Amino acid sequence: MGDLYDVIVGGVGGMGSAAAYHLAARGLRVLALEQHDLGHDVGSSHGLTRIIRLAYFEDPSYVPLLRRAFALWRELEAGLDEPLLHITGGLDVGAAGSVVFEGSLRSCREHDLPHEVLDATALAARFPGWRPAANAMAVYQPDAGFLTPERCILAHADRARSLGAEIRTRETIQSFEAHGGRVRVRTDRGDYEAAQLVLSAGPWMADLAPALRPLLTPERQVLGWFDIADRPRFAPSAFPVFVLEAEEGTYYGFPEFDVPGFKIGRYHHLDERVHPDTMDRACHPRDEAALREAVSRYFPGANGALRSSAACLFTNTPDEHFIIDRAPGAPEVLLVSPCSGHGFKFSSVIGEICADLVQHGTTAHNIDLFRLARFADRGR
């Protein structure tokens, strides 16, 4: 088989669709393979809304990537009929000394981000959808908001196709072999060959990349949309996206958008390790209870009936930072972003990083935090 493609992208979710677009934009011959339909609901990149925020409590080194991500999302949505990025402002809430509050404040100060610090009284007065704990402290950062993930994926894919990329759906990668500067990818429909493979298969990464199996933990998440008694208080103009570190757990949530209800999720939900092909996707009373515990206490105006729910997956690394690196022993293969539940917002810039690494072998973006070498001593 001849070298038909410059690069094959395995998985066309948030990361893969962006990679396909940026690679095609540089004139490379791109084949992108997706085992489901584009924008499907069995992985990690669905659920109508995804938070994007600059005040990043996880690590301040993410902030420059986020600035570039914001710019690229704006470029992508230019000329579309509706926006992909919606600005609401963002709240990072927790007690003084908490990871979320202190980490967010650190990022704001290190990167000179506009922000305000609110105590519980000020938070409730300014955003009456909240009933915070008496000891709550909040960082409000006005640039935060949410993305519409399914629309983002389709926009990247459409742009990629317009630039000559070939995207094949309902075609499953079964294996790949890399040697001598080439990669042969075998699917349930045939074999393909390219100079490089960008593997961005989300919770299926552990199945396809042996080097990652000891490091990755796919985890079941459930999101709920709760009926709202006073809807104006939870409108995008009045209710910022948020992360809340509370006694009950750490939660994230959104204003009402696109479908009825206040949307909320709990980080690491019920701590369930799963496989994406066999995961329970139903919402059970225990799932609702884990969410309602926070809704009833902190957002009583939205403590109505559970209107709808959705299951998705986190693909967690041991330190909950991303992986963007070459596969050990296979420099033709770029492993991209098992991202521990906080990666979608970065898709636009990670697509650009993938194109840099494929085309030049390096990138101007700082991705030192995402190297596999940080796990070199694991298990010794």
Give residue-wise pLDDT tens across range 3-17.
589 999 999 999 999
Residues of the chain below pLDDT 50: 1-2, 379-380
Residue ranges of the chain that CATH labels 3.50.50.60: 5-45+149-216+319-375
263 is catalytic: yes
Q: Which residues pair with 250 in a beta bridge?
A: 245
User: Distance (Å, rounded) from C-alpha 32 to C-alpha 6?
Assistant: 11
Token representation of residue 238: 């009045």
Q: Where in the chain is the domain with CATH 3.30.9.10?
A: 50-147+217-316
Is there a catalytic annotation at residue 109?
A: no
Q: How far apart (Å, rounded) are the C-alpha atoms in residues 96 and 104?
A: 12
CA distance 13 to 201: 8
Q: Which is catalytic among the residues 22, 46, 53, 233? A: 46
pLDDT at 378: 66
Strand, coil or helix: what is 197? strand
Q: How far is CA 316 from CA 114, 119, 194, 336, 369, in A?
A: 31, 32, 29, 13, 15
Confirm whether 50 is a catalytic residue: yes
Q: Which of 115, 250, 345, 354 is the catalytic position?
A: 345
345 catalytically annotated = yes
What fold does the segment set 5-45+149-216+319-375 form as a domain? FAD/NAD(P)-binding domain (3.50.50)
Q: What is the pTM of this model?
A: 0.96
Q: Note the pLDDT of residue 377.
A: 76
According to the model, what pLDDT value does residue 59 have? Answer: 97
- Is 365 an annotated catalytic residue? no
Of 22, 156, 263, 266, which one is the catalytic site residue? 263
Instruction: Estimate to the nearest angstrom the gap between the alpha carbon of 214 and the chain centroid.
Output: 21
The answer to whether the beta carbons of residues 295 and 264 sit under 8 Å apart is yes
- Ramachandran bin of 141, using left for φ above 0, alpha for ψ from -120 to 50, beta for the remaining angles: beta
- The verdict on whether 269 is a catalytic residue reads no
Which candidate in 312, 315, 317, 339 is catalytic? 312
User: Domain 50-147+217-316 - what CATH class?
Assistant: alpha beta
Q: Exposed (0-12), middle (13-18) or buried (19+): which is 112, by Cβ within 10 Å? A: exposed
Residue 155 has, within 13 A of its CA and on its CB side, a CA count of: 22
Q: Name the active-site residue from 106, 168, 268, 307.
A: 268
Pairwise CA distance, residues 57 & 43, whole Å:
25
